[in-house]
Amino acid sequence: MLQIANPIYDVVFKYLMDDNKVAKLLLSAIIGEEILTLEYRPTEIKTDLKDRPITVYHIDFSAKLRYADGSEKLVIIEIQKAKLATDIMRFRKYLGAQYSNPENVQEVHESAEGYKKALPIISIYFLGHSLDLIKAPVVKVQREYIDLSTGNTIHEKEYFIESLTHDSFIIQIPYLKDNRKTELLKVLSIFDQSNRELDFHILNVNEQEFPEKYRDIIRRLQQANSDSDVRHRMGIEDIYIEDYRQTERQIEKMKKSLEEKDKQLEDKDKLIEELKKQLKK
């Protein structure tokens, strides 16, 4: 068994994705397409995890994909990772920022003048918590064009529609436990929290069970486990998350206390009304 740094930690995940070859391997396995080129978007290069307590971490890439039919396309790959069950508005906020970002375009020179074209967005969500109803470890949300007059699927792709909608991948980390049915699930086993040591910073993986062409991923996580700065920042994340959880517990306790007081006031109001009715008799 090999010991690797736990990529559920933001600092480890960033260390993993900072290696371009490894990032291409992981993202290509998830989206099921060949990635020819992959570049960090400028906004994320400046991110410094130790300076901000966050519960949702996000990275943006620009990528050139090659599809099975040989066609190539530039896209934005947006990754969001959350350890805790967080407000969905956080995810919407980041996604909205992608759609409104004037940098997420490419120059097209199909005519003498040329024009700017919005890049398609692919969203990948790593969830440290479970969804309410769906128990599948990996879910793909795929767009489909349907002619409602006939019910038939439309196979042509329109720029207008492609620019305003996007495909998504949701990875539920709790359901990765002991799930190795496909090559993708074997790759994502690096997130399986049932492999943790008593020290949650470390996971155990069996290299022989890991697909050979993806083994650079676990080697990168081995390097992270040996990096003293990464280990130090993981400790800082633990403090941030525990503070966040304590705050959540305090808020929940206050809400419960207020609800109980409201109930008491409601009961008093009912009692007063009953007494008034009796006095009128």
Q: Identify whether 164 is part of a domain.
A: yes
Whether 251 maps to a domain, the answer reads no
Q: Which residues pair with 72 in a beta bridge?
A: 66
Higher pLDDT, 63 or 271: 63
185, part of any domain: yes
* Residue with tokens 């419960």, as numbered in its chain: 256
Residue 280 lies in a domain: no
How does pLDDT run across 159-197, given as a tens digit for each residue? 888 888 889 999 999 999 887 889 999 999 999 998 887
Residue-number span of the structural domain to which 35 is assigned:
2-227
Token pair in block for residue 56: 């949702």
% of the chain at pLDDT higher than 90: 39
For residues 166 and 143, the answer to whether their CB atoms sit within 8 Å is: yes
Is 215 a domain residue? yes
Return d(Cα 77, Cα 73) in angstroms, integer. 12
pLDDT, tens digit (0-9, with 9 covering 90-100), for 129-163: 888 899 999 999 998 999 999 999 999 988 888 88
Which residues make beta-bridge pairs with 38?
Answer: 63
- Tokens 């896209």 locate to 75
| Mean pLDDT along residues 2-29 | 94
Distance between CA 221 and CA 60 in Å, rounded?
A: 20
> How far, in Å, CA of 42 to CA of 46, rounded?
7
Q: How many domains does the chain have?
A: 1
**Cα distances (Å, whole numbers) of residue 219 to 114, 116, 230:** 45, 40, 15
Q: Which residues contact 260 (CB under 8 A, 6 or more apart)?
A: none
pLDDT digits (tens, 9 = 90+) for 30-88: 999 999 999 987 654 334 444 454 567 888 898 999 988 888 888 889 888 887 666 67
Task: Give domain status of residue 252, yes or no.
Answer: no
Alpha helices in 32-180 (DSSP H): 42-45, 88-100, 159-164
This prediction has a pTM of 0.78
CA–CA distance from 227 to each of 5, 29, 68, 197, 235 (Å)?
9, 26, 39, 18, 13
In a domain, 208, yes or no: yes
Tell the residue number behind the tokens 């720029």, with chain if given.
Answer: 159
